[in-house]
Structure 1
Amino acid sequence: MLKHCYLLFIFISCKSLVNKHNDIEKSTDTLFLWHHKDFDKDSIHGISLDKWYNENNKSSNNKIIVATIDSQIDLNHEDLQSQIWTNKKEIPNNGIDDDNNSFIDDVNGWNFIGVGNNNIQAFSNFEFVRFIKKNKVFFQGRDSLKYINTPLYREYKRALKKYESEYNYYTEYLKAEGILISAYYPAKDTLKYYFPKEDYTTKQLDSLYQIHKTNDKTFVERVNENDTSREFPDLIFYMKMIKRLSFTIEQMENSSKHKDSIVKKLLNFDYDDRIRIKNHHLEKGYGNNSLNSHEKLKRHNTEVSSIIIANRNNNKGVKGFHNNIQVMPLTISPFGDEHDKDIANAIYYAVDNGAKVINMSFSKEFSLNQEIVTTALQYAEDKNVLVIHTSGNASSNIDLTPFYPSDFNYVNSTEIVNNLITVGSISKRNDETMVTPYSNYGKNNVDIFAPGEDIYIALPDNKYDYDSGTSLAAPMVSGTAALIWLYYPNLTVQEVKNIILESGVTIDKMVIKPGTENEMVHFSELCKTGKILNTYNAMKMAEEVSKRKIRN
């Protein structure tokens, strides 16, 4: 979850903080696929995938499936189309569960938040809202005192605090944005007297405001006082604020509608986000097979998957890790937080249908049913499947602030499974700002860092761009794990995990701790290994371990 923008800018739809450092020309060689580069050759802490390809002359006829438990995906994207997993046991669109796995027509994967035959549950409660709804009965009745000082009570109080923070933020956001939207057209019409061509600049508006102003309140003060003044200087002031960030009325209206949905659905205790999902009460088989029906909900998985499987030979867009890697898209992510039941069932589906690697580029701060996800992770471990998880984008220490899914039991501080890798994000910068400012971190609960800023990715409708986030760091590790198993299939899940972590490049330097302006810490304090991913090293180590096993 992205950290909120500073309150002063709540009146405008803030750009994702993960794009904060996108000030480099997009077409430069140092930016395009920088995450594939090598530090010794290019002075960039990429994963050295190019170096491995330059030296490797061996081919592999194996196939590896990486399940992406994520949003929907653009199945028809030119750079992904031939790389999507196909369930050969299923006859397409015959309305029959041909392979008897409880999922009808699951030709390319499954949508666990599917509605009807071709729709999706786009909005979902935040998990802390669901947590409060479920547990408030214990803390509001006459027996509430016996729950005080229990782990459940502490988690409940944390959920209440989170709810209050989020609710206040979004309602204030809506109020502020509403003031600007309602003032836009009156301000636009009034200013035509001075600027008939409407070609005014922020500087001109500020000069005009200084001449006519009757007070000098900040915008935050106006919002707090619900000041919707329509006097001439106020209209200048509002237009100046809009102009300063180059926002259009359409963008503000769309942003306001989205935030209104957050308040009325994601933060609404009375909103039932499961009622429309067909047979959601079933243990499995609920949802539908529609993986690309929602225009706004298929971007994220398209980005993530392109890092892993984008065609390397078509001279278009992105280059993935290998053309023998396929992605199995499993949809669980709406606008809001994922349900633990969906996470667990997606893990079971992935394992039972042949995935060797599971990429989970999502996270949430609460887990209502962590035990069922834990059981699914243990099932994956027993079946020799590696799970890769993003650390999250809240600039938080996840040793202290829980983020789920996790291989860590926050109640008794124990590790639950040994087949999960949690990944933080670095940039291409080599100085003290190399750790991306939004990345979560943790000496115990983040295993390794990987490139996650200014990453060139595929977007729906055959488009490409740069994006940032720990969501893009995780598939760097997933792609590496898949590449290892393509060439060295005799390795166990624990061996692949250890190879990835041990072969990373040690960063021996002081860096700025995420979420701070200039607090310096040693890189080794931010993750368990003190390392960043290096695919070249991992492949070399995998070769050695594999040969040793064969000899023995």
Structure 2
Amino acid sequence: MKTNFKETKSLKKSILFFILILIFLVGCKSKKDLNISTPVFGKKEFTPLEMQTWYQKDYLEDSIPGISLDKWYRLNKKQPRAKSIIVAVIDTQIDINHEDLRGQLWTNNNEIPNNGIDDDHNGYIDDINGWNFKGTKAGDYVVWSNYEYVRIAREWGVLFKDKTESQINTKDLSKYKEYHRALTMLEKENKFYKNWLKSLNHNVAIYPLVKDTLRYFFPKEDYTYKQLDSLYKKYKINDKTYRQRRDDNDKDLGALIFYMMISLEVDEKTFKDLIDRQTYLDSVVTKNVNVGYNERLLIGDNPNILDKAYGNNNVSNKAGLESVQEHSTKVSGVIGANRENHLGIKGIVQNVKIMPLSIIPIGDEQDKDVAMAIYYAVDNGAKIINMSFGKEFSLHKEWVTEAFKYAEKHNVLLVHCAGNNGFDIDKNPFYPNDNGSENFDEVISNFINVGSISHKLDSTFVSDFSNYGKQNVDLFAPGDEIYSSSPDNAYKFDSGTSFSGPMVSGTAALVWLYYPNLTATEVKQIILDSGTTYNLNVIIPGTKDKKVPFSELSKSGKVLNVYNAMQLAEKISKKKKE
């Protein structure tokens, strides 16, 4: 049901009375049940400040489906029992000099900076703030990488190329099928990107003609998409004057107008935008989907052997590409941006140390880097590992699973974003995950997979890009239009499950700071059990209008709630002490 809050005063009073009754009933629930089943009366209009902070709000207090963070900070009177907690952020490189992250980053106090010696004997030289697993031997980093299906096609092609299923041993059958799935994806994507690049090359070539043509109609070049659309619809009738000045080399006027309309629609407003897109797509074709490209040659290691002897300590190498630092800087800001410096944003938790571990290129991360980053995080004291990345194929899933088990053994919580493909990951594989090889059985108990919601309490509540799954997504958290820190002391909005995961990581850090006697498994269950339940039907991501109850899209059927989690954590922590 949708409700307009610009209704009559009497209706507002009725709604307020109903909410007060609801709050009273919630307060009278048994101590074991902190779930809130909410009626859906969402706020419709947001101020600019509310948009920047919506995810921290409380539904009952603000009519905004946030994580009730502000509410907890306002009502909390206790002091944390732990001084700080380390959260490893396995991601891209990071802007370690950002004003809102100063003092919030992990420092390896057992290492003497820049002396070229592995002082703490952990296998990594001068790892002062973490490690760059995409670092090259020259001290730089690898920006471009294959997609995983390309690696599988290359690696497993030696075993399976030109063979039929009847020729394959039973033990290799699942790998054979995965090889062909990867091969099909490679052929499809290779064709798609090459055609796109071909089209873009044509667009670059005719761009001067388009600009010159439109200057005839718009001398100041101040046209909008709407104006071009209007011109496009009328040009066949009114192009007599134009045709008189065309030469034989001119293109069809309608096609030229339509070209610029498309350019405006995809934010290619200038020739530089077009060239940047062309450069990007050229790298996709020659590197991302190219079987002959091997990024590990620059790193100098063997990606099929687990070892420490690769990478470098430069976790903040920008080298003119802001995007290389952007993702991790935003993710880290959600978790631990300084809450006390009166700058930018407020992270979920203040007493945190972010440990940046770089593994993400433009392309797919490699399983070796994922596994080695997890081992590094665990061995160097991280309690929570945030993983805002994912892919549809996994060449060495077993390595990652073993690393997950290592984290479980050392009581470390793993938090992973569910992905932005808009599909059901119960049916479509998405890695890394906590599943057994052939079923949904969880092989570890310390893994949380997080989908994304928006601030809109209507049928679009679940972000249209978010992956979902009753078995493989544990809960949802805000991930749509999230305002966070960005390189060069900037702040921007961005969307993705990449931001839903950090909401959970920050909450877990907060729980452990106050209740350090809890285990990773207990923290996971507290977060899942204490979420908010929203009783509404939502559009399934990836469909136009097919709806299901929100509760059917994840295992818990809930949205992260910090206030409830802290209340439940206190009760469970007390019980453990009795």
TM-score using structure 1 length: 0.89
Instruction: Go from structure 1 to structure 2 and tell me whether the alpha carbon gap of 1:524 and 1:235 turns closer, same or farther (over 3 Å shift).
Output: closer
- Give CA-to-partner distance per residue, 1:269-290, whole Å, 9 cap, x none: 0001100114456701310000
Match in the other structure for 2:93: 72
Match in the other structure for 2:62: 42
User: Distance between the aligned counterparts of 2:370 and 2:461, measured in 1?
Assistant: 32
- Give CA-to-partner distance per residue, 1:373-413, whole Å, 9 cap, x none: 00000000000000000000000100110000100124244
* Aligned-pair CA distance for 1:204: 6.1
SS at match of 2:493: strand
Match in the other structure for 2:376: 349
Instruction: Go from structure 1 to structure 2 and tell me whether the alpha carbon gap of 1:243 and 1:290 turns closer, same or farther (over 3 Å shift).
Output: closer
Identify the range of structure 1 (52-61 vs 184-193) with the bigger mean alpha-carbon deviation. 184-193
Match in the other structure for 2:184: 161
- Give CA-to-partner distance per residue, 1:433-474, whole Å, 9 cap, x none: 110000000010000100101111000000001111000000
Equivalences for 1:72-151 in 2 at 5 Å?
A: 72-141=93-162, 145-147=166-168, 150-151=173-174
Matching of residue 209 in structure 1 with residue 264 in structure 2: no
Identify the range of structure 1 (278-287 vs 46-55) with the bigger mean alpha-carbon deviation. 278-287
Q: Is the 8 A contact 2:440 2:472 kept in 1?
A: no
Instruction: Go from structure 1 to structure 2 and tell me whether the alpha carbon gap of 1:297 and 1:26 turns closer, same or farther (over 3 Å shift).
Output: farther
Match in the other structure for 2:272: 250
Q: Is the 8 A contact 1:36 1:47 kept in 2?
A: yes
User: Distance between the aligned counterparts of 1:244 and 1:482, measured in 2?
Assistant: 41
Q: Is the 8 A contact 2:93 2:324 kept in 1?
A: yes
SS at match of 1:47: coil
User: Distance between the aligned counterparts of 2:99 and 2:477, measured in 1?
Assistant: 26
- Give CA-to-partner distance per residue, 1:325-379, whole Å, 9 cap, x none: 1100000000000110000000000000000000000000000000010000000
Match in the other structure for 1:483: 510
Q: Is the 8 A contact 1:209 1:236 kept in 2?
A: no
Q: Is the 8 A contact 1:70 1:329 kept in 2?
A: yes
Q: Is the 8 A contact 1:391 1:439 kept in 2?
A: yes
Among 252, 265, 275, which residue is 2:287 paired with?
Answer: 265
Match in the other structure for 1:29: 49
* Aligned-pair CA distance for 1:416: 1.5
- Give CA-to-partner distance per residue, 1:295-321, whole Å, 9 cap, x none: 321100000000011000111111112
Q: Is the 8 A contact 1:113 1:331 kept in 2?
A: yes
Matching of residue 175 in structure 1 with residue 195 in structure 2: no
SS at match of 1:429: coil
Structure (1 or 2) with the larger CA radius of gyration: 2
Matching of residue 286 in structure 1 with residue 306 in structure 2: no
User: Distance between the aligned counterparts of 2:108 and 2:355, measured in 1?
Assistant: 9
User: Distance between the aligned counterparts of 2:460 and 2:254, measured in 1?
Assistant: 42
SS at match of 1:511: strand
SS at match of 1:409: coil
Instruction: Go from structure 1 to structure 2 and tell me whether the alpha carbon gap of 1:361 and 1:142 turns closer, same or farther (over 3 Å shift).
Output: closer
Identify the range of structure 1 (37-46 vs 195-204) with the bigger mean alpha-carbon deviation. 195-204
User: Distance between the aligned counterparts of 1:92 and 1:452, measured in 2?
Assistant: 37
* Aligned-pair CA distance for 1:523: 1.4
Match in the other structure for 2:493: 466
Match in the other structure for 2:569: 542
* Aligned-pair CA distance for 1:138: 2.6
User: Distance between the aligned counterparts of 2:553 and 2:349, measured in 1?
Assistant: 30
* Aligned-pair CA distance for 1:142: 5.5
* Aligned-pair CA distance for 1:522: 1.4
* Aligned-pair CA distance for 1:507: 2.5
Match in the other structure for 1:510: 537
Match in the other structure for 1:188: 211
Identify the range of structure 1 (139-148 vs 456-465) with the bigger mean alpha-carbon deviation. 139-148
User: Distance between the aligned counterparts of 1:230 and 1:436, measured in 2?
Assistant: 41
* Aligned-pair CA distance for 1:191: 4.2
Identify the range of structure 1 (42-51 vs 168-177) with the bigger mean alpha-carbon deviation. 168-177
Aligned amino acid, residue 259 of structure 2 = Y
User: Distance between the aligned counterparts of 1:484 and 1:194, measured in 2?
Assistant: 62
Among 364, 367, 374, which residue is 2:401 paired with?
Answer: 374
User: Distance between the aligned counterparts of 2:281 and 2:389, measured in 1?
Assistant: 20
Instruction: Go from structure 1 to structure 2 and tell me whether the alpha carbon gap of 1:193 and 1:45 turns closer, same or farther (over 3 Å shift).
Output: closer
Instruction: Go from structure 1 to structure 2 and tell me whether the alpha carbon gap of 1:142 and 1:34 turns closer, same or farther (over 3 Å shift).
Output: closer
Which runs of 5 or more structure 2 residues have no equivalent in the other structure?
1-43, 241-248
User: Distance between the aligned counterparts of 1:390 and 1:203, measured in 2?
Assistant: 39
Identify the range of structure 1 (479-488 vs 150-159) with the bigger mean alpha-carbon deviation. 150-159
User: Distance between the aligned counterparts of 1:420 and 1:239, measured in 2?
Assistant: 47
- Give CA-to-partner distance per residue, 1:224-280, whole Å, 9 cap, x none: xxxx97355544443444356662111111011101100100100000110011445
TM-score using structure 2 length: 0.85
Aligned amino acid, residue 292 of structure 1 = S
User: Distance between the aligned counterparts of 1:37 and 1:128, measured in 2?
Assistant: 41
Q: Is the 8 A contact 1:138 1:144 kept in 2?
A: no
Among 152, 175, 183, which residue is 2:175 paired with?
Answer: 152
User: Distance between the aligned counterparts of 2:217 and 2:539, measured in 1?
Assistant: 48
Q: Is the 8 A contact 2:389 2:417 kept in 1?
A: yes
Identify the range of structure 1 (504-513 vs 441-450) with the bigger mean alpha-carbon deviation. 504-513
Aligned amino acid, residue 210 of structure 1 = K
* Aligned-pair CA distance for 1:26: 8.3
Which runs of 5 or more structure 1 residues have no equivalent in the other structure?
1-23, 215-227
SS at match of 1:168: helix
Instruction: Go from structure 1 to structure 2 and tell me whether the alpha carbon gap of 1:321 and 1:134 turns closer, same or farther (over 3 Å shift).
Output: same
Q: Percent identity between the aligned chains?
A: 50
User: Distance between the aligned counterparts of 1:168 and 1:25, measured in 2?
Assistant: 44
* Aligned-pair CA distance for 1:128: 0.5
Aligned amino acid, residue 251 of structure 2 = R
RMSD between superposed Cα atoms in Å: 2.1
SS at match of 2:296: coil
* Aligned-pair CA distance for 1:324: 0.9
Match in the other structure for 2:243: none
Match in the other structure for 2:523: 496
Instruction: Go from structure 1 to structure 2 and tell me whether the alpha carbon gap of 1:523 and 1:78 turns closer, same or farther (over 3 Å shift).
Output: same
Spell out structure 1 runs of 4+ moving beyond 6 A: none
Instruction: Go from structure 1 to structure 2 and tell me whether the alpha carbon gap of 1:414 and 1:29 turns closer, same or farther (over 3 Å shift).
Output: same
User: Distance between the aligned counterparts of 1:30 and 1:487, measured in 2?
Assistant: 28
* Aligned-pair CA distance for 1:415: 1.6
Aligned amino acid, residue 455 of structure 2 = K
Q: Is the 8 A contact 1:202 1:243 kept in 2?
A: no
Instruction: Go from structure 1 to structure 2 and tell me whether the alpha carbon gap of 1:245 and 1:358 turns closer, same or farther (over 3 Å shift).
Output: closer
* Aligned-pair CA distance for 1:27: 5.4
SS at match of 1:103: coil
* Aligned-pair CA distance for 1:517: 1.0
